[in-house]
Amino acid sequence: MGASFYSYWGKATHDDVGEFHLLPYHCLDVAGVAECILNTQPHLMQSLRRRLATTDDGTVNLVRFFAALHDIGKFSDDFQNLRPDLLKRLRNLTSRARCSIRHDALGLLAWREIAWPTIRESGWLCQDDDDDPYRWRDDVLGTLAGAMAGHHGKPAEPSADGCVARADLHFTAENRVAMKEFTCALISLHSDTETPLLQHGEDLAENARMASWLMAGLLVLADWIESSVLPFSSGCHSVN
């Protein structure tokens, strides 16, 4: 049996044909498009590299990683149940879940509560200090995660009806397992260096905020290009 994240759909047609794109494949396709755009735009590469104080390869790795996480909020059954037929087909599940907040807001919530602890534990992305576990999550990477989640052209707000949303109300235990497995798989694809990709510097938080605007535009374009490719393959197989 493959990883559990292969049982989630990411894109689907609006007809009775039942064609869909598995969520991990959609996320990786968007990451691939973002990488292609970045590699053909040297000024964009230079701007991101300078602000994030990393190399060209490090910049590509960072953009590709966040691009692959851009739809992590879709692992919620709140979103999956927008297509009960696919939920039943892929996971043999029926649900009464409803999508009370947007999937991009769900993505920001998933980043903070589920993806970030996994990333921090890996030690790959950033050099973290135990005395302030939220410095990277909120001050540096949080702005980039905001750009990631806001890939539909506006910032994502993880709130509903004026109240801060809670991850436990929107992600089941099964959803959490799939998100953690997917995040771990992405880390294994990108962690090809022994030293953390980003090193904390005095101006890194402010530079990351500026870089987030560039990343937001890049991910909006990459997601739009990938989502415009039709038809989807309805195959449900996994890849090794």
Tens-place pLDDT, residues 78-128: 999 999 999 999 999 888 877 777 777 888 888 888 898 898 888 888 876
201 has a pLDDT exceeding 50 = yes
Radius of gyration over alpha carbons of the chain, in Å? 17
Q: What 8-state DSSP symbol labels residue 4? A: G
CA distance 216 to 213: 5
Handedness of CA 220, 34, 178, 146 (dihedral sign): negative
CA distance 170 to 78: 7
Of the pLDDT bands very low, low, confident and very high (cuts 50, 70, 90), residue 237 is very low
Decide which of 139 and 179 is more confident. 179
Mean per-residue pLDDT, 121-149: 76
Of the pLDDT bands very low, low, confident and very high (cuts 50, 70, 90), residue 159 is low
Give the predicted TM-score (pTM) of the model. Answer: 0.87
Of the pLDDT bands very low, low, confident and very high (cuts 50, 70, 90), residue 132 is low
CB 107 within 8 A of CB 71: yes
235 has a pLDDT exceeding 50 = no
Q: What is the pLDDT of residue 60?
A: 92
Q: What is the pLDDT of residue 156?
A: 60
239 has a pLDDT exceeding 60 = no
CB 181 within 8 A of CB 4: yes
CB 236 within 8 A of CB 92: no
Average pLDDT, the chain: 82
CA distance 92 to 18: 15
Q: What is the pLDDT of residue 234?
A: 47
Q: What is the pLDDT of residue 131?
A: 56
CA distance 170 to 73: 9
Domain 4-227: which CATH number of 3.30.70.640, 3.30.450.20, 1.10.3210.30, 3.40.50.300 = 1.10.3210.30
